[in-house]
């Protein structure tokens, strides 16, 4: 069986889904090509061939189809190019608005009884650069569509605006001197300005699709401290080889995947594994590149570099998920493919019909142009962007950041909600979940534990001190304090020789769990981290037990209940241990639990669930990024990592789980507005085009009807601003 080759080609010049389809068809015709997938969002073509294939042949095929292609560029350079293009589009949009605004002002003040009109030559001077300079992109894209035998929104824009502009020139030329002609320069200029707004928003969303990759790559340290013959040297990561020794100081990120050779510390792997608690590291333990070293100095032997590291594999998973095709609504583009030639045919029939009926050429031409004017895609172009802008605006007011239109369009279809545990349903930081004092005095137990942990920066120590603060307990001074490596901490508090640590400390002290055994076993089954407080001396004794773990966020139960009420199933997907996951699931009424899941398996689980419905994933860490990108809808929790936020289509700026059903609700309402707007936009055309064809609408009335359709669409969209999520302040 011949080996398959894959190639990524950046594509330029695509403006809509039909463009992506034409590029796919052009590439698929090249000999040796097995499959082609063109992603409009990332502007890349993924080509799989049965054998080696010359990239120049593929580039030539794309060029012949009317688009540009090149070999895969440097990620950073490509990002810079995208930013420059976005800046150019923003300036073009602002210039179009500045030129179109004086043209539309007379229309706005007319209802107030102010009858004022700019001279014809001023209207011409303002509209012409908008039409032919700022609107040149539509003519170019329209020509490509015509050459390919297809119709799209760009062709519709070019036809409609050209009709309005051309009719204005005709009316201006045939109006007697001293009288004011009926001109349509404002219609053509405003339509182009509005469509440019939609194109700008689209380009901004496209740029955000690459942000996840850039954020992931930023986690890779560029340099490392290599140990050579006892000497520390600052070297580039690229200079390292397998089995090289690397020194990692406290607070630094691990530059490579490796094995601890010397030293003891804790590693914060929450961003990689999803484990909320710091993981102890000692000789023989594995460390993951991108994780953060805690309090100790470690000597690490390199075991994986470059593309083989865990972080690199996560990056590849995100890239694959983003490159895959998502089912995007293309209703307007699909309709326009039929709508455009239909309008053209109707306009030609109108012209010929009136001429055959004996009407003057001017009457026939005006009626034909009226058909094109009323078919101008102003309302069609406004239908989606205005609803999206209103929906995303009101959502942002309540802390729901919707990054792209695709997420907004699809969120209402969600049938399954997959939750990460740590940082999503739980607080993400260790807290005292349970405690039990042998003598029943829990305050004294906390006070002694807090005194031992005084001044420590360890997360578990912070949890103890926070609990003491919450109970307004005084922290006593500790003397003879000493760390017990691998076991805990000891010291003298109020003349008592105390120690706080793990089960190893308990066993080395010759003590048993005693009456606390059932509690210890139960809490360990929940995945809690246990710390024993003992009194040392001639007669050692157990004073109490503290259990650390995540606590449920306020609103988590309510969020799951709201989803259940809407017939949306809930699933728990986490890298944490089974006991901890099961405890959280039982508390929230979630029956479907996937625990101890690696990032790659998270994405695979999502893909499997997508076979039976529309899946949304909620997460907050790097380990969640592949799953967020693979899901139909990715939702990132506020306070999480930038990577998760970039990979997700929706970001909740506050960590309130109740915002999750609220995000689905605003999506449902926004999508309803989009459908309503498109309906009314088409109704105006369905009613207006026949009236124009039969001469009941002159171009003036046609222009007014087109403006009215735009007003109705905008007004309907603005109703979304009254939305407010339930039960959220």
Selection from 622, 654, 639 nearest residue 212 by Cα:
622
Which strands, in side-by-side order, build the sheet including 44-49? 33-39, 44-49, 5-12, 68-69
Distance CA 587, CA 712 (A): 48
Instruction: Spot the catalytic one: 420, 576, 620, 632.
Output: 420
CA 491 to chain centre: 49
Distance CA 618, CA 639 (A): 13
Distance CA 488, CA 175 (A): 95
Long-range contacts of 564-572 (CB under 8 A, 24+ apart): 564/589, 566/661, 566/664, 567/415, 568/414, 568/415, 568/416, 568/417, 568/664, 569/415, 569/416, 569/417, 570/416, 570/417, 570/419, 571/416, 571/417, 571/418, 571/419, 571/609, 572/418, 572/419, 572/421, 572/425
Task: Please state whether beta strands 569-573 and 416-419 pair in parallel, antiparallel, or not at all (unpaired).
Answer: parallel
Cβ neighbour number for residue 265 with a 10 Å cutoff: 21
| Sequence-ordered list of residues with C-beta below 8 angstroms from that of 80, at least 6 positions apart, any chain | none
> Rounded to 5 degrees, what are φ and ψ at 123?
-60, -40
In 426-505, beta strands by DSSP E: 431-437, 478-484, 488-493, 496-501
CA distances to 60, 78, 206, 391, 474 from 397, in Å = 48, 33, 23, 10, 42
Helices (H) and strands (E) in the chain, counts: 25, 26
Sign, CA torsion 127/133/134/139: positive
Cβ neighbour number for residue 64 with a 10 Å cutoff: 10
Selection from 49, 35, 45 nearest residue 12 by Cα:
45
Q: Enter the tokens of residue 367.
A: 């009626």
Distance from first CA to last CA of the chain, Å, rounded?
Answer: 62
Selection from 104, 121, 94, 122 nearest residue 188 by Cα:
104
Matching residue, tokens 């689209």 = 202
Cβ neighbour number for residue 45 with a 10 Å cutoff: 25
The helix (run of H) or strand (run of E) holding residue 224 is: strand 223-228
Torsion of CA 493, 499, 500, 501, to 10 degrees: 170
Selection from 513, 713, 543, 553 nearest residue 639 by Cα:
553
- Is residue 576 flagged as an active site residue? no
The DSSP symbol for 252 reads: P
Distance CA 575, CA 75 (A): 30
**What SS3 class is residue 623?**
helix
Burial of 55 (0-12, 13-18, 19+ CB in 10 A): middle
Q: Would you please indicate which residues are annotated as catalytic (active-site) residues?
A: 420
């Amino acid at each position: 069986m011949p080996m398959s080759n894959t190639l990524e080609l950046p594509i330029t010049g695509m403006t809509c889904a039909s463009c992506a389809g034409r590029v796919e068809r052009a590439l698929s015709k090249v000999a040796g090509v097995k499959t082609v997938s063109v992603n409009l969002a990332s502007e890349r073509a993924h080509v799989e061939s049965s054998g080696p294939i010359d990239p120049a042949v593929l580039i030539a095929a794309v060029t012949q189809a009317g688009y540009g292609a090149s070999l895969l560029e440097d990620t950073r350079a490509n990002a810079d190019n995208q930013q420059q293009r976005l800046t150019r589009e923003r300036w073009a949009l602002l210039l179009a608005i500045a030129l179109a605004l004086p043209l539309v002002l007379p229309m706005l003040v007319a209802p107030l009884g102010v009858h004022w009109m700019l001279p014809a030559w001023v209207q011409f001077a303002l509209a012409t650069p908008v039409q032919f300079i700022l609107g040149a992109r539509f003519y170019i894209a329209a020509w490509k569509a015509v050459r390919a035998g297809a119709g799209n929104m760009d062709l519709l824009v070019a036809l409609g605006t050209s009709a309005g502009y051309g009719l204005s020139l005709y009316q201006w030329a045939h109006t007697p001197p001293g009288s004011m002609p009926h001109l349509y320069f404002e219609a053509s200029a405003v339509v182009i300005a509005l469509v440019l707004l939609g194109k700008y928003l689209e380009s901004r969303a496209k740029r955000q699709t690459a942000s996840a990759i850039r954020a992931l790559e930023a986690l890779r340290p560029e340099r490392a401290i290599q140990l050579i013959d006892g000497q520390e040297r600052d070297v580039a990561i690229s200079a390292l080889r397998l089995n090289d020794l690397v020194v990692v100081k406290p607070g630094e990120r691990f530059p490579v995947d490796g094995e601890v050779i010397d030293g003891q510390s804790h590693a914060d792997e929450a961003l990689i594994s999803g484990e909320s608690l710091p993981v102890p590291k000692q000789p023989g333990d594995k460390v993951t590149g991108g994780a953060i070293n805690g309090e100790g100095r470690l000597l690490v032997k390199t075991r994986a570099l470059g593309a083989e590291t865990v972080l690199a594999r996560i990056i590849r998973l995100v890239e694959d998920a983003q490159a895959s095709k998502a089912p995007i609504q293309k209703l307007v583009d699909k309709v326009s493919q039929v709508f455009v030639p239909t309008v053209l045919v109707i306009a030609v029939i109108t012209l010929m019909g009136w001429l055959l009926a004996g009407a003057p050429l001017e009457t026939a031409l005006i009626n034909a142009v009226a058909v094109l004017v009323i078919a101008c895609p102003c309302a069609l172009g406004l239908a989606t962007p205005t609803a999206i802008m209103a929906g995303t605006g009101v959502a942002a007011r309540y802390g729901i950041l919707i990054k792209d239109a695709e997420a907004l369009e699809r969120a209402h279809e969600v049938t399954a909600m997959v939750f990460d545990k740590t940082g999503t349903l739980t607080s993400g930081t260790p807290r005292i979940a349970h405690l039990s004092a042998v003598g029943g005095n829990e305050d004294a137990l906390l006070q002694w534990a807090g005194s031992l942990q005084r001044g420590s920066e360890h997360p578990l120590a912070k949890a103890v001190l926070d609990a003491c603060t919450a109970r307004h307990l005084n922290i006593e001074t500790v003397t003879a304090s000493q760390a017990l490596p691998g076991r805990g901490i000891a010291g003298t508090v109020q003349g008592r020789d105390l120690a706080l640590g793990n089960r190893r400390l308990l066993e080395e002290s010759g003590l048993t769990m005693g009456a606390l055994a059932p509690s210890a076993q139960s809490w360990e089954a929940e995945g809690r981290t246990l710390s024993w407080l003992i009194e040392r001396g001639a007669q050692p004794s157990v004073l109490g037990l503290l259990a650390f773990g995540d606590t449920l966020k306020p609103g988590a139960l309510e969020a799951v209940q709201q989803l259940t009420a809407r017939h949306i199933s809930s699933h728990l997907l986490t890298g944490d241990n089974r006991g901890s996951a099961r405890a959280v699931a039982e508390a929230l009424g979630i029956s479907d639990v996937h625990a101890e899941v690696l990032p790659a398996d998270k994405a695979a689980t999502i893909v499997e669930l997508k076979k039976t419905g529309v899946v949304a994933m909620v997460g907050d860490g790097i380990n969640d990024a592949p799953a967020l990108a693979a899901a139909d809808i990715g939702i990132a929790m506020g306070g999480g990592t930038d990577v998760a936020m970039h990979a997700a289509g929706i970001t909740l700026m506050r960590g309130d789980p109740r915002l999750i059903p609220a995000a689905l609700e605003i999506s449902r309402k926004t999508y309803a507005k989009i459908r309503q707007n498109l309906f009314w936009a088409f109704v105006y055309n369905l009613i207006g085009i026949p009236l124009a064809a039969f001469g009941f609408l002159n171009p003036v009335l046609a222009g007014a009807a087109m403006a009215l359709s735009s007003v109705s669409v905008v007004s309907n969209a603005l109703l979304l601003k009254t939305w407010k999520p339930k039960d959220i302040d």
